[in-house]
Chain A
């Protein structure tokens, strides 16, 4: 018992970088840095959210018609998959805190599986849109399905789909990066890098994972749900 504690503290001391006074300062600094980074991520996505707001106000009916083409079942499944992945991620961070590297590795592997599940379902959706010519550009084609608004300009739905591809694409890219980071945690964790005295990387990747999850929690209603019922 005592020897394992000493071992943990030795791992922690190896992890203390030379320019920090102690582990406490290092932990708080690294977590502060991660929150600052997430702030920049919010600003990064905010440009797209701003464009969405402007165009939704200008071309409301086109946005309603565009969102009719979304597959709500797949979208909702994906939302559930991501929420579950956040749960296993949070449990993984807790396992790291409690000094259970094997449990952490298992939980993070499940998180990775959920991540791939999300990307797989997203790929099915992308494929559907692609074969239906719902990708902006010369091959874009959109039949207006709303007789009440025959004047709805198909070009304006192209803006909707531009935003859809840009926003979900950027989100998917963040997922790919997240999966890579979690995989790195699994390997490092199994090699004994983390102890109850030192688990900043696990905590920080966890924060990142939750952030990416949260972006989807906004994207899903904005792109799939928000205009569904009041289209007329």
Chain B
């Protein structure tokens, strides 16, 4: 009897074939996205473990948990893993890989095998860097400043640099794939002005990946060559210029923060429109602001070097240019709020995360303006103020957006709903935990507490204890989704093709989508975020 009632399960990308080989040799962008999801989640926990060790060490003023050498390695490895192996691939390689072809109405990315290659390069880079960490670690900081990294550090700099070098090519190939796909693979009727804002922002990030990443690749290669073969391009003993290293490093690594944040902004645009049931306010402005951020991002790198010895005039110009980045960023924030204005807002988990993003990104962005003003930067340079600013943008902004996107598209990726109440609790914990962790660091930094020390004067203890307590709350906030997402794979309710009643091509196919994404090539005749003409149904999930 039971078998008779059971309906035949629809063919989708998850059940089309089975076995480890069908995953490791897949060229399906959706499966590659899942491979990335698993890999970067592992890296996130590893980087998070190092962060927890840092916070535990800073619980007391004395350097009692780890030695100063170990502490140097801890913050270096936290930085390398989180920046190069989690934040940069997070939204593009997981959500972008899954969604860009679906959103433009294509069967796959333009180069499916290159896409798989990019995952293997990511894994090769990650394993190389992890090997360097396991066999002794690196202590240069994630910035690899010369001449310490080239001459004096006795740690595994070459391994870490080569690992990032290899992973860089995975990022280049992902970016290349996105650009070509968005240019050439759009479905009939999917014009540039109808393109979802998620695609616009991933396109902008992809431009930075393609133009910026090769520069860090050659820079880190030169560091490795200098250590291995005495190719002394940055060696001051020969007359080489360590500042040249900083210029080349930040030429990529500053735009890289826009690689990280832009795709997150795309996620927020999608979610704000869906849960406000409105068309994006100033769609063209949000789209072009992404491009403006990508372009301006290439012109501001030396604001990391105000106290490194660059000329005052150069510093003035870079300071002014850095202020300009605030304009497109603010355009986005204002347009999201204007989209919500008079919208019919529902408070589902993705929207809660999006609220968190908008608030925290604004704080992070505004403190960025503090840091790009020359006088103030001298005071707070290399203090916890910088740490707090960076984490407000990257964790409060980017990780929030990644979590928002993961919750929003989880039903599409897996076909299952997560438990809404637990998810709301996790969003709340992440918000509270994040602010408790990082707001005290603004104050600490402003009072002059320098970063990268494992011990500090006793009068700073209260704020440090507060921060460590916040980090524990934050950790719980991240563990919860881990548990209920896995739980939902087996016990979650079926999501149906469009649980949020959202518009967009990815919601017009089944969940999980079939291997070829669409049963027939979609033809687009409507504007993006056409919620006015969408039947006003209640969002029915989560009760």
Contacts and interface: CB of A to CB of B under 8 A. Distances in A.
Contact of B180 (A36, A55, A159): A36
Contacts of B478: none
Given A19-B185, A40-B211, A43-B213, 15 more contacts: A19-B110, A25-B184, A28-B184, A32-B180, A33-B180, A36-B180, A44-B214, A47-B248, A48-B222, A50-B248, A51-B244, A136-B230, A137-B230, A155-B237, A162-B233
Given A19-B106, A33-B111, A47-B218, A158 B212 contact: no
Nearest to B181: A29
Given A44-B217, A54-B241, A33 B233 contact: no
B218 A44 contact: yes
Nearest to A33: B180
Interface in B39-74: none
Contacts of B232: 136, 158-159, 162
A166 B225 contact: yes
A166 B107 contact: no
B241 A40 contact: no
A184 interface: no
A204 to B, nearest CB: 11
Contacts of B222: 47-48, 51, 166
A186 B529 CA distance: 50
Contacts, number: 116
B248 A19 contact: no
B224 to A, nearest CB: 11
A159 B214 contact: no
A140 B233 CA distance: 14
Interface string A43-73: 1111110110011001100000000000000
B238 A156 contact: yes
B231 A40 contact: no
Interface residues of A, number: 40
B172 interface: yes
B516 interface: yes
B218 A48 contact: yes
A136 B184 contact: no
12 contacts: A18-B108, A28-B184, A29-B184, A40-B210, A44-B215, A47-B248, A51-B248, A54-B244, A155-B239, A158-B232, A162-B232, A165-B231
B179 A36 contact: yes
A119 B377 CA distance: 51
B121 to A, nearest CB: 13
Nearest to A28: B184
A215 to B, nearest CB: 13
A153 B218 contact: no
Contacts of B177: 33
Q: Which of A18, A55, A162, A165 has the most CB of B within 10 A?
A: A162
B107 A18 contact: yes
B233 A51 contact: yes
B426 interface: no
A37 B231 CA distance: 27
A140 B235 CA distance: 14
Interface in A131-151: 136-138, 140
B264 to A, nearest CB: 24
What 4 A-B pairs have minimum CB-CB distances, sorted nearest first?
Answer: A137-B230, A47-B218, A44-B214, A19-B107
B219 interface: yes
B239 A59 contact: yes
B112 interface: yes
Contact of B219 (A28, A47, A158, A162): A47
A155 B238 contact: yes
B239 A159 contact: yes
Contacts of B107: 18-19
Nearest to A158: B238
A109 B260 CA distance: 45
A51 to B, nearest CB: 6
Given A18-B516, A44-B217, A51-B244, A138 B210 contact: no
B503 interface: no
B106 A41 contact: no
A28 B238 CA distance: 48
A28 B110 CA distance: 11
Interface in B229-280: 229-233, 235, 237-241, 244, 248
A183 interface: no
A213 B249 CA distance: 28
Interface string A111-143: 000000000000000000000000011101000
Contacts of A55: 233, 239-241
Given A18-B516, A155-B239, A40 B233 contact: no
A14 to B, nearest CB: 16
B109 to A, nearest CB: 8
Contacts of B172: 40
Contact of B238 (A25, A40, A44, A159): A159
B27 to A, nearest CB: 9
A181 interface: no
Contacts of B230: 136-138, 140, 162
Contact of A162 (B210, B214, B231): B231
A163 interface: yes
